[in-house]
Structure 1
């Protein structure tokens, strides 16, 4: 690959952990790597606007002009106040949460509308951190990917797996017109290819 002194910008959504890949990149290349935190609601926008070269996204991500490489799945969990009844069990189902106020976006929780038995309050849109704060207060519950719940953990909150929810998927995404040797190098690092292994 040709030398390049401009930073390669890798975006990552909350909960994704690119540090290991960044270390491998820096071991192999002199080209600077810039890690750019991205809110999940902004992941499609930063790609469309070329604010990053690639992004660790949480599927689905919109955009017909994107390459997407799935990396790993995550278990969804419910975040509750530390004295909530849910903390007495090791795992829950959606039905166990049917009478709870969901503070995160119900459209992101398949089956919630059909399961819930209470009228949802008019909650404003929240970042994951805000949703965890509200859940910790006891006013409602939040359903988030496990890595996000771990990252935002508080002493006054707890989380449990929601076993009948499909996993969420973390993937690498980039625009087709930005597909070059550098993006493929990052794909290889994320997939565990060594510096000596073939891209094929």
Structure 2
């Protein structure tokens, strides 16, 4: 079975459990961009993909996601896995590092770096927007003090830079992560994969119905490894 993963998702545990349960059918894990993940499934390049959907309530898909969103109404199996919390990445000495969580209102007046591969499609009120080529470039610019970046937490970890800090933004939309495949080309072990990525034991029951309960919300990330917040006092406005 060939499985595509988008940046910010790790196959290590899944691949290990797969080898234990299905040693005669290797799991071939490949990596792809969020914008091309749907196309890779449609072309038959992969059997399934773990990808990001637009945040709940988004009128249109963000620039970094495909224009077509997988849906059970259009012949896709869509298995919700989790919803990842969004965080703001700021320079280490930034005023927002004095709090453990950042209110949306406290982003007003900031220079927000918006990458062309943005997966959130969200702009907090009152920010100054600067478009940049991609998330790695935005992370470099944050480290250089040129602005702040709002991304799912896993992408902040993936593109961690020395001299930056990360804080959760509870009011920002989360990033839904799902497992998808085409129902008319379902791999024989697709349901086994569902069990593995959802953490089911080998003996647990697996139905053929792809309808799943609402995804759980990922826990809030711990304070950045670069330093602990100084307290919960509200950040002062910069003049």
The correspondence of residues 48-127 of structure 1 with structure 2, limited to 5 A, is 48-60=42-54, 62-63=69-70, 64-105=74-115, 108-110=120-122, 112=123, 115-118=125-128, 120-121=129-130, 123-126=131-134
Aligned residues: 188
Q: Cα offset for 1:24?
A: 0.5
The correspondence of residues 19-38 of structure 1 with structure 2, limited to 5 A, is 19-29=12-22, 30-38=24-32
8 Å CA contact 2:120, 2:151 repeated in 1: no
1:158 alignment partner in structure 2:
165
Q: Cα offset for 1:107?
A: 8.1
RMSD of aligned Cα (Å): 2.0
8 Å CA contact 2:120, 2:173 repeated in 1: no
Displaced runs of 4+ in structure 1, greater than 3 A? none
State which drifts further: 156-165 or 93-102.
93-102
TM-score by length of 2: 0.72
Match of 2:141 among 131, 134, 137: 134
Hey, what's the Cα distance between the residues in 1 that align with 2:94 and 2:202?
49
Hey, what's the Cα distance between the residues in 1 that align with 2:142 and 2:171?
21
Q: Cα offset for 1:109?
A: 4.1
8 Å CA contact 2:112, 2:127 repeated in 1: no
8 Å CA contact 2:47, 2:186 repeated in 1: no
Question: Which structure has the highest helix share of the two?
Answer: 1
1:176 alignment partner in structure 2:
183
1:189 alignment partner in structure 2:
196
Cα deviation, 1:4-28, whole Å, max 9, x if unaligned, reads xxxx111111111221111110111
Q: Cα offset for 1:52?
A: 1.5
Hey, what's the Cα distance between the residues in 2 that align with 1:189 and 1:101?
41
1:147 alignment partner in structure 2:
154
